[in-house]
Amino acid sequence: MHKMQVAGAEVLVEQIIDRLENTIDATVFCLDDVGEIGYRLRDKGVPVIVLGRRPGMDLSVAKKLADEVKRRDIQVLHAHQYTPFFYSAIARIRYGVKAKVIFTEHGRHYPDVVSWKRRLANRTLLQRYADITTACCDFSTKALQTIEGFPKAFTLNNGVDVSDLVPRGDESDQSRLRERLGLDQDRPYAACIARFHEVKDHATLIRAWAKVHQQLPEAHLLLVGDGEERENIENLIAELSTSSNSQLAASISLLGIRNDVPELLRAIDVFTLTSVSEAASLTLLEAMASECPSVVTDVGGNAEHLRHGVDGYLAPRGDDEALAGCLVKLLSDPDRARQFGRSSRARVLDAFDLNDAIGQYLHHFQTLAATHN
């Protein structure tokens, strides 16, 4: 991994380790730092080793990785994202590591530009050292095949734990939940649960919410997360809270990082995500499993998960006008929101169960370990 921060791929890694604790002996290697989830894993007794990558191409990382893999007799390296794969491949090529490698791609940059040198290196050499190459959605798989030079890549869908993400229940259940969370009973709520990073494009959401607020002044937006964009988000809210929209700031709450996300998803009316780039958003799948209708940007794998007009709405990237229109539709139509929410959960149960995803990863671990020498 790069760093075991609170984000989708990192959460998946923790879930794999937790679910397979009696089957695999896991060690986590981080290129850059431990991260919140890394410290949590250390508390559980899982080794989390920071390789201390320096700026630029740091081949000493591959040497450190190789030494640890050999010392620990690791059979399979599961590299999440391209840079961890690159150093895993170099550890095999240059330092004689025998461990098999799974390369999993989770997301893509926007714009998706890859240098010709990287493409050439992948096609002519590096892709041979990925014994299995997977991506978490068809969008990322296609990019690996056509842009990166991994022709054998295939899709292994992410999943969420549906046992932890229960349906909404009836009105009395909702009332008790909102009271416990400190939410108003009759106020429509939308929530964005995402790290405060420029790729999540909170700016478009804030601009859209200014339009929503003019039509639905009683509606409230919850922003769950934190990160380097927090100050910019706060400044934009203040900037848009003009005399003609003076109550905008009061209609938006920045809640920070929360440990009660499943409860929030059951209590709110609409989940929204405005990323400029996305692969398979675990938070979107969690919202869908919680019977929460969603309004998300039509990027990456979002359209593979959410069916427009069935589970929620897709809006063009960066289009605050379209996004606002979709939010108003759902926030002002509880019957449609409930219908979308029920179909969302059915969609997750059918295609995105965490048990299925982890079962497939375990199969690949065992298959590769059997060929380790």
pLDDT at residue 373 in the model = 65
For CA atoms 45, 47, 48, 49, the dihedral sign is: positive
What gap in Å lies between CA 193 and CA 314, rounded to an integer? Answer: 17
* Nearest alpha-carbon partner for 268 in 175, 358, 190: 190
Q: Please write down the HEC assignment for all residues of the chain.
A: CCECCCCHHHHHHHHHHHHCCCCCCCCEEECCECCHHHHHHHHCCCCEEECCCCCCCCCHHHHHHHHHHHHHCCCEEEEECHHHHHHHHHHHHHHCCCCEEEEEECCCCCCCCCCHHHHHHHHHCHHHHCCEEEECCHHHHHHHHHHHCCCCCEECCCCECCCCCCCCCCHHHHHHHHHHHCCCCCCCEEEEECCCCHHHCHHHHHHHHHHHHHHCCCCEEEEECCCCCHHHHHHHHHHHCCHHHCCCHHHEEEEECCCCHHHHHHHCCEEEECCCCCCCCHHHHHHHHCCCCEEEECCCCHHHHCCECCCEEEECCCCHHHHHHHHHHHHCCHHHHHHHHHHHHHHHHHHCEHHHHHHHHHHHHHHHHCCCC
Q: Return the CATH fold of 8-159+354-369.
A: Rossmann fold (3.40.50)
Domain ranges of the chain: 8-159+354-369, 171-351
Amino acid present at 161 = D
Whose structure tokens read 């169960």? 353
Below-70 pLDDT ranges, the chain? 243-244, 372-373
Structure tokens at 20: 């397979």
User: Does residue 79 contact residue 102 with C-beta atoms inside 8 Å?
Assistant: yes
Residues paired with 100 in a beta bridge: 76
What pLDDT is recorded for position 202? 97
Q: What burial class does residue 55 get, using C-beta atoms within 10 Å of its C-beta: 0-12 exposed, 13-18 middle, 19+ buried?
A: exposed
Please count the other Cβ atoms lying within 10 Å of the Cβ belonging to residue 308.
14
Q: How far apart are CA 68 and CA 80, in angstroms?
A: 18
Fold of 171-351: Rossmann fold (3.40.50)
* Rg of the chain over all Cα atoms, to the nearest angstrom: 22
Tens of pLDDT, residue by residue over 284-297, are 999 999 999 999 99
Q: Which residues pair with 33 in a beta bridge?
A: 3
Mean confidence (pLDDT) of the chain:
95
Q: What is the pTM of this model?
A: 0.88
The answer for 319, left when phi > 0, alpha when psi is -120 to 50, beta otherwise, is beta
Strands 220-224, 132-135: pairing kind: unpaired
Euclidean distance between CA atoms 371 and 108, whole angstroms: 31
What does the alpha-carbon distance between residue 209 and residue 32 come to, in Å, rounded to a whole number? Answer: 36
- The type of residue at 287 is A
pLDDT for 109 = 81
Are 8-159+354-369 and 171-351 equal in CATH topology? yes
Distance between CA atoms of 248 and 207, rounded to whole angstroms? 10
**8 Å CB contact between 81 and 31:** no
What's the confidence (pLDDT) of residue 243? 67
User: In the chain, what's the furthest Cα-to-Cα distance?
Assistant: 71
- Residue 195 near residue 226 (C-beta atoms within 8 A): yes
* Among 320, 297, 312, CA closest to 205: 320
